[in-house]
Structure 1
Amino acid sequence: MPASVSSAPGPHSSDWLRRWVVGGFFGLLILLGLGLYRAYGVGWDEQIDRLNGIINAKYVAMQLAPELAKRQPTFAEIPDLYGSQDTDHGVFYQLPLVLLEKVARVEDSRDVYFLRHLVIWLTCVAGTWVVYRLGMWRFGSWRWGLLTAGLLVLSPRLFAESFYNYKDPVFMGFFALSIYTLLRWLRQPTWQRVLLHAIATGAAIDVRTMGVLLLPLTLGFAILEVLYRPHDRRQFLLSLLLYLPLTALVVVLAWPYLWGNPVGHFLEVFQSFSRYPTDMLTVYLGKEISVRQLPWHYAPVWILVTTPAVYSALFLVGLGGVAWAARRPLAWLSTTTGRLDLLLVAWCLGPVLAIIVLNSVIYDGWRHLYFIYPAFLLLAVRAVHTLWYQWRATTSSVGLVTGWLGLGLFVLSLGTVAYRMVQEYPYQNMYFSLPGPMAGRLFERDYWALSGREGVEWILAHDAAPQVAVGTDPRSKLVLHNAQLLLPPAERARLRMVSPEQATYFLTTYRWHPEGYPKYGRPVYERQVDGVTILSIFRLR
């Protein structure tokens, strides 16, 4: 499946410009991460994710060098793999992070999580580079690829979560890489390219099981290529014979939980898509509802209210453009551009439909679907690409003025998003395209509970007592535990986490308790983001 427009480098001067601009863009992203990674708190799942990596590291060590493993000082404290909580999560990413901690010789929790935050950011920068390559492939120009990557960076929630969410933005990058290797293989179905695609697919599945969607995408679009390129039929069939077993091999090798019973354990994990062990509540459209009873529109609504409005509008225009081009489906599919656009639509809409049809349990917004976002942006950029060339081709004064107005609004919208990201730092995870007070009433707030870190630091900075007793909601005890992980050791020793009845201060991030606390009086400290209160501290005695 060749690119829709030739992506070969242009003249030497253009190639020089591309290297400097693209290199500067990604260099700045790395420097930005180096300057910001210490500002973000420990998210709700971080300690559980790390423990999952440690448990798997123990299991691997017991298989490869049991005597050496047993001599490790913390061996007895680490739970066994079978029976642990998160066996349905692969450790392709978490296991190397645990090994990195050992190599870097970091042991204090503050150093451990700062290191992990930096590595997540660098991983997400690599994922952004993949999205840049996909944009360059689709539109035949590094400039359009860079615009796609730029929109990804200017996506506030994903920007923040790229420092502490080990699963969803990371999986997005791995999924995008698999789509890229798929495109390269569809273009030239060699055994080397199918090997790379199998490795990328297996890695994506081992980061999040939803990566299995790559299998039907690969098979379906291989069949399309065979139909329209019959001369390559033999190469595709031979490649597919390699792809499936190689992917399975990568999945099993990189996921220790599967070693004992690959088929049985994988089916067990796959079934977890449609169930959730606890009846957790979430706030949606102003009501607390069970995650097991979410309406079909939960994911689409969350996507719209947490994505910059201009991106959503352009996505709808781009999707409409694909529908218009597909009005003669056979002629449309006979073009490489048509098949590539169909892949983007299937990548973006297919998982959402699968969630709805399978009644899969998702929560915390649409983070489980972040991996569709590059396709969402590519369809949005498709709209910009089409409008740009229509504007350049117009000769009417009305068309020229309209184009300038549209360009100005687009740039203004991007500037507004960037301004809000700066203003709301380090809580870009609270971004809504709705007015803040309305969003705060209708939707879950700081479900990562990152603001707990700021709350604990404020209390310790304003109370000089050698021991400071802090309490929170019984269901939110993890908020305090995660917050103290980033404290300097001396400050960590001052913090006493107690029940509200024993506490001097009561701290809340409002998770599972969206209403206020009138019984505690007026807060001594609050943190608001765009008019939404995400943290309150009350002094009790």
Structure 2
Amino acid sequence: MATRSNTYVKVYFLLVFLLGVFIFKDYGVSWDESIDRINGMVNAKYIMATLAPEWTEHQLVFTNVPDFAAHLENDHGALFHLPLAFMEVVWPGLDSRTYYLVRHFCIFLTFLLALWSVYKIALVRFKSQLLGLLTSALLLLSPRIFADGFYNGKDLVFLSFFTFGIYTLIRLLERPTLARAALHGFATAIATDVRILGCLLFALSIGMFMIEAIWGEKPKAERRQLGKAISLYCVVAISLTVVGWPYLWEDPAGKFLEAFDKMKRFRWEGDVYYLGQVVKGIELPWHYAPVWIAITTPVAYSLAFLAGAVIWLYTVVRYRFAVLRALEGRIDVLLAGWFSIPLLMVILLHSVIYDGWRHLYFIYPAFLVVAVRGAYAVWQASKNSLVLKRATLVLAVLAGAEAVYTAVRMVAAHPNQQVFFSFLSPEQVEQLFDRDYWGVAYRQGLEWISTHDTAAQLTINAPVSIVLENNLAILKPADRARFKINGTDKERYYLTAYRMHPEAYPDTIGNEVYTLKTNGIKILSVFYRW
């Protein structure tokens, strides 16, 4: 039986991998990807200038790359972007299409790591491969997360490595060996070097070590081993964080505190379109993140999460510290901290987040594990009552139907699952929220123009040119060469993804010659003026 279950797990992950292989080429280039590319090159130049200054001076690939000290985002973690930057160093003249396709496939591989990590977390928590696969499948069937799993090199990559770090922490709590401590230190460093908020993983680890030392029922020998493991973990996590984050090299402690302070005081002066109003990023209401989570998460997931959260709170109130004596109880505490601490920090400290709740994506795996706990607990409780059992079966059928419907919507929306709303009508979405804030749909608009207009020169414009530049970069070179941005030609195409512009465009912009809709929501228009 165990062998058959293992086969199911292998087949599941193989199918997900093959799915990614077949579709990763379909996605456009998101708003921040060109910025991340530059950040990677800046860090690569700094590293090589430190290790081999004379060689670096003669590398043409670094000619137009800003110096590290002058780069405004030099404090941003660049660990994920660095291998891609070195790919450009060793492959001079690399075409931008090849670069972004490789980049998108690498992002997908990190998403695969997240799917595997959340499976392993649920496997340890529930001691069930079926529930482990269910939790992973829920992450896979989360449309916005799925789409970001091909182009979001910031939030999705951070989600993946943070989730992997939580799994390595749980393994360490299970059995505190030095090897597991070193691996968890490595995972913590990677998460922190991707985004400084990865240091929360370090804080959660220390908190869990304290709980383990007080309530963990381990023999003295294992407690002594835990002490050694904690010490090794701290050394590995701190040292590798410094190694993987060039910004810290000159003054590790001072630069880290400086970067952390910048994160706390981060103030984005841009605007978002939220609940039908233009709101400044520094004036977002407390409910901004909870509302975005609710409207972009399948309803059944949210209801199951609420059930899991209520059941956990009831257990804590009833049994208090006794719940900490079992590993499962301590994992529940970890899940609660993982989900609630970042969300409460955003709400209570008025932290700046924008573009939906993408900055909080890394808490979503905890949300799903709690949701599975809630669903499973309700299922178990229903065994004692025929009426409750029938009601639970009805709920299970409805939840399954929504999951299937979500999968169908994801297929229909491909490759624009990033504009998924769980229960709002297309009219409500268009009136109340930004749509394709990542700008990846511009690729389809450019491809439509290239296919339907045979002119040798095509003049294009958009509200912000960077979204055009990014998506031109992933087109084939011959198609890319035909486009000219912001030209003075009388004839031109104008593309928009309706970010910060919910209303219809005036006739002076041109005739709407192409409309792209996702699940009934208009996410891109192409206008032509002559």
Into which bin does the TM-score normalised by the smaller protein fall?
A: over 0.9
Which amino acid in structure 2 is aligned with residue 86 of structure 1? E
Contact 1:274 1:361 in 2 (8 A): no
Matches within 5 A, 1:109-258: 109-229=96-216, 231=220, 232-258=222-248
**2:501 corresponding residue in structure 1:** 513
**1:322 corresponding residue in structure 2:** 312
SS at 2:286's partner residue? Answer: coil
**1:340 corresponding residue in structure 2:** 331
Q: Return the offset for 1:118.
A: 1.2
**1:430 counterpart = 2:435:** no
**1:445 counterpart = 2:435:** yes
CA distance in 1, matches of 2:72, 2:298: 35
Q: Return the offset for 1:246.
A: 2.4
Deviations 1:345-395 (A, max 9, x none): 11111110112222221111111111111100000000121122233x336
Q: Return the offset for 1:233.
A: 4.3
Pick closer, same or farther for the CA change 1:373–1:133 going to 2, 3 Å: same
CA distance in 1, matches of 2:161, 2:433: 29
Provide the identity percentage: 42
Contact 1:311 1:377 in 2 (8 A): yes
Contact 1:273 1:361 in 2 (8 A): no
Query: More deviation in 185-194 or 148-157?
Result: 185-194
Which amino acid in structure 2 is aligned with residue 339 of structure 1? R
Deviations 1:390-449 (A, max 9, x none): 33x3363x3443233222112111101101101111110000112222122211110000
**1:361 counterpart = 2:352:** yes
Aligned pair partner of 2:45 in 58, 74, 77: 58
Deviations 1:148-169 (A, max 9, x none): 0000000000100100001111
Matches within 5 A, 1:276-287: 276=266, 278-287=268-277
**1:487 corresponding residue in structure 2:** 475
Unaligned runs of 5+ in 2: none
Q: Return the offset for 1:463.
A: 1.7
**1:96 counterpart = 2:83:** yes
**1:261 corresponding residue in structure 2:** 251
Query: More deviation in 21-30 or 453-462?
Result: 453-462
Q: Return the offset for 1:76.
A: 1.8
CA distance in 2, matches of 1:111, 1:192: 38
Matches within 5 A, 1:294-313: 294-313=284-303
CA distance in 2, matches of 1:266, 1:444: 34
SS at 1:362's partner residue? Answer: coil
SS at 1:326's partner residue? Answer: helix
Q: Return the offset for 1:180.
A: 1.1
Q: Return the offset for 1:30.
A: 0.9
SS at 1:82's partner residue? Answer: helix
Unaligned runs of 5+ in 1: 1-13
CA distance in 2, matches of 1:120, 1:345: 27
CA distance in 2, matches of 1:298, 1:265: 31
Pick closer, same or farther for the CA change 1:103–1:410 going to 2, 3 Å: farther
Deviations 1:227-247 (A, max 9, x none): 123735433333333332321
Contact 2:459 2:489 in 1 (8 A): no
CA distance in 2, matches of 1:102, 1:70: 13
Contact 1:205 1:251 in 2 (8 A): yes
Contact 2:267 2:282 in 1 (8 A): no
Contact 1:283 1:443 in 2 (8 A): yes
Q: Return the offset for 1:102.
A: 5.3
Query: More deviation in 497-506 or 514-523?
Result: 497-506
Which amino acid in structure 1 is aligned with residue 331 of structure 2? L
Contact 1:258 1:266 in 2 (8 A): yes
**1:22 counterpart = 2:9:** yes
Q: Return the offset for 1:521.
A: 5.0
Contact 1:470 1:503 in 2 (8 A): no
CA distance in 2, matches of 1:185, 1:451: 43
CA distance in 1, matches of 2:337, 2:192: 18
Query: More deviation in 326-335 or 450-459?
Result: 326-335
Which amino acid in structure 1 is aligned with residue 100 of structure 2? Y
Aligned pair partner of 1:531 in 508, 516, 520: 520
SS at 1:523's partner residue? Answer: strand
**1:6 corresponding residue in structure 2:** none
CA distance in 2, matches of 1:389, 1:155: 25
Which amino acid in structure 1 is aligned with residue 255 of structure 2? H
Query: More deviation in 401-410 or 499-508?
Result: 499-508
Deviations 1:194-224 (A, max 9, x none): 2111111111000111111112211111111
CA distance in 2, matches of 1:249, 1:417: 43
* Residues matched between the structures, number: 524
TM-score by length of 1: 0.93
Query: More deviation in 167-176 or 457-466?
Result: 457-466
